[in-house]
Structure 1
Amino acid sequence: MANCNTKTIFVLVSVAEMLTATAQAQTPVERGRYLVEGILTCGNCHSPRGPGGVIDAAKLYSGGPQTFDEPTFTVKGANITPDPDSGIGKWSADDLKKALIEGVRPPGVPLAPIMPYGFYKVFTTGDLDAVVAYLRSVPAVSNKVQAPVYKAALHVEVPPGADKRMTDADLREPVKHGFYLVTIAHCMECHTPKVNDRLDFANGLGSGGQSFRGPWGESISRNITSHQEKGIGAWSDAEIKRAITQGIGKNGSQLKPPMGFEWYARMTDADLSAIVVYLRTVPPKE
């Protein structure tokens, strides 16, 4: 990475080793909660909201309020609590894993790719088990969500380098660890432009430009490549972390949803540092 001296590299390696040790010290449910309630931002799509857009804590993960109406499907965020009738209470652990990394729910029904299972293929075995353990531990909430409507064949986006499971050994390498976190956070799903309704990873990875409309009005995903002017190449580490966790830009402006600032604020500083390390390696794009 540019401007990295030997001392910095040593510190980053030490951080990566610490992250691995911390993850191993947590129980599966604790690790799963950290992932689901933090970097995965599952509640963004799978939890109902009350007045002012605040998530209803009593109905966490029981189904999202928004409808995703795309050219190939119309769906709402599913109930992912252990309710046996309206949620995932009758699913086995293997059923959940298959849904997360293959996008198939029992009895073999495909999931709409608004669920970023193409990005979840990198999950380590331990983290995948942890997510499943946590989801099966949350309170069951009865809430039937409208059935999905599929209008055409589904296309699944898999970002470069994310087509296979990563290992704990991979996560000891700082850049790979950051890539892992950015991938399971599906950052490039929003921060890569689309061409013909497909994410243009080959030509525009991280260069932003997608439009999102909601109660906040319209927001355009920004360029998060290492480009010095168009991207975040000139931002300090602290400025990047502040943008991720507080939604404040380099110039102090307030950034708009649907970026899950409140979820990312629960991440450890070590994980945020790993993300910054990786983002600085993303090739500059205008």
Structure 2
Amino acid sequence: MAAIAVAGSALAQTPIERGSYLVNGVLTCGNCHTPRSPSGAWDMSKQLSGRPRTWDEVTFKVNAANITPDFETGIGKWGDADIKRSLLSGVRPNGAQIAPITPYGFYKVFTPADIGAVVAYLKSVPAVSNAVEPPVYKAAMHVDIPPGADKAMSEADMTDPAKRGFYLVTIGHCMECHTPLVNDVHDYAQLGKGGQPFPGPWGVAVSRNITSHPTAGLGAWSDAEIKSAITQGVRKDGTKLNPPMAFSRYATMTDQDLSAIVAYLRTVPPKE
């Protein structure tokens, strides 16, 4: 019955409500696409209008795009199919590839209903005029697709807590940060082992091992402790985790979805 309730919670929402839940919570789109005020807080008057930061990498230099429905500086001229294609395949309406800092390699698992909900929500947010510098592509770009994430999942999959947890962890691109990189490519043989450094105003945060290993990972953590880490940024020992993990956004997730994530993380092979 619990699994049925999990699936039903999504079905009870309108597409825009479901899209808001995903975009503002699970997907943490605002982490990159919403500008910040001088205090460092998100400037919600410019929600999703882009350019809070720049990524200057070996293969590209890009700014977070304006993904509001503004016709001149956002995606207002894009059709539903254009937006879906950009999210699922990383291709703009003009055929140009989007830099994989947008984790579209993780989005192929989207259920048809959820990708439709994301599109519906993005088209519903206020249009904000905010011109963002065009991307610069320097070389061919590698796109990671995590194991088991190469095709859409079904609504039937969502009735299984562990499968639903895998789905949420994947569209939330958790393993993008929590899997080691080797020569700028994710080493999925070490899925969930962590170890990536993230410098920022907080110093240097290192992504944690979230495998089921009993000491190096989360194997000895209770369900409640894992949920607290996700939504409040609190470790098992009570100390605080550092950004860039978006605890406040994950705090909007339902307990059913958090329980599904925990169920999946229990299945991730232990790595030390």
Q: TM-score range by the shorter chain?
A: over 0.9
Offset of residue 182 of structure 1: 0.3
Deviations 1:99-156 (A, max 9, x none): 0000001111110001000000000000000000000000000001111111110110
Poorly superposed stretches of 4+, deviation over 6 Å: none
Amino acid at match of 2:180: P
- Paired residues for 1:165-184 under 5 Å: 165-184=152-171
Contact 1:122 1:165 in 2 (8 A): yes
For residues 136 and 98 of structure 1, the distance between their equivalents in structure 2, rounded to whole angstroms, comes to 15
- What percentage of aligned pairs have identical amino acids? 66
Match for residue 128 of structure 2 among 128, 132, 141: 141
Contact 1:44 1:64 in 2 (8 A): no
Amino acid at match of 2:217: G
Offset of residue 216 of structure 1: 1.6
For residues 154 and 97 of structure 2, the distance between their equivalents in structure 1, rounded to whole angstroms, comes to 27
Say yes or no: does 1:132 pair with 2:128. Answer: no
Say yes or no: does 1:211 pair with 2:197. Answer: yes
Change (3 A) 1:52 1:216: farther
Offset of residue 22 of structure 1: 1.7
Offset of residue 71 of structure 1: 1.4
TM-score, reference length from structure 1: 0.94
Match for residue 237 of structure 1 among 223, 228, 231: 223
Which residue of structure 1 lines up, in the alignment, with residue 80 of structure 2? 93
| Structure 2 stretches lacking a partner, 5+ long | none
Match for residue 145 of structure 2 among 150, 158, 165: 158
Say yes or no: does 1:15 pair with 2:12. Answer: no
Say yes or no: does 1:267 pair with 2:239. Answer: no
Q: Which moved more, 1:50-59 or 1:264-273?
A: 50-59
For residues 71 and 216 of structure 1, the distance between their equivalents in structure 2, rounded to whole angstroms, comes to 25
Amino acid at match of 1:229: T
| Structure 1 stretches lacking a partner, 5+ long | 1-13
Paired residue secondary structure (2:269) = coil
Paired residue secondary structure (2:61) = strand
Paired residue secondary structure (1:51) = coil
Offset of residue 52 of structure 1: 2.6
Amino acid at match of 1:266: T
Which residue of structure 1 lines up, in the alignment, with residue 93 of structure 2? 106
Say yes or no: does 1:283 pair with 2:269. Answer: yes
For residues 125 and 247 of structure 2, the distance between their equivalents in structure 1, rounded to whole angstroms, comes to 22
Paired residue secondary structure (1:218) = strand
Match for residue 181 of structure 2 among 194, 204, 228: 194
Say yes or no: does 1:58 pair with 2:45. Answer: yes
Deviations 1:25-72 (A, max 9, x none): 211001001111110000000000012310001000000411112211
Paired residue secondary structure (1:108) = coil
Which residue of structure 2 lines up, in the alignment, with residue 122 of structure 1? 109
Paired residue secondary structure (2:204) = strand
Matched length: 272
Which residue of structure 2 lines up, in the alignment, with residue 249 of structure 1? 235
For residues 54 and 268 of structure 1, the distance between their equivalents in structure 2, rounded to whole angstroms, comes to 24
For residues 236 and 258 of structure 1, the distance between their equivalents in structure 2, rounded to whole angstroms, comes to 23
Offset of residue 24 of structure 1: 1.2
For residues 116 and 15 of structure 1, the distance between their equivalents in structure 2, rounded to whole angstroms, comes to 30
Amino acid at match of 1:233: G
Paired residue secondary structure (1:248) = coil
Amino acid at match of 2:117: A
Q: Which moved more, 1:105-114 or 1:86-95?
A: 105-114
Which residue of structure 2 lines up, in the alignment, with residue 6 of structure 1? none
For residues 3 and 59 of structure 2, the distance between their equivalents in structure 1, rounded to whole angstroms, comes to 40
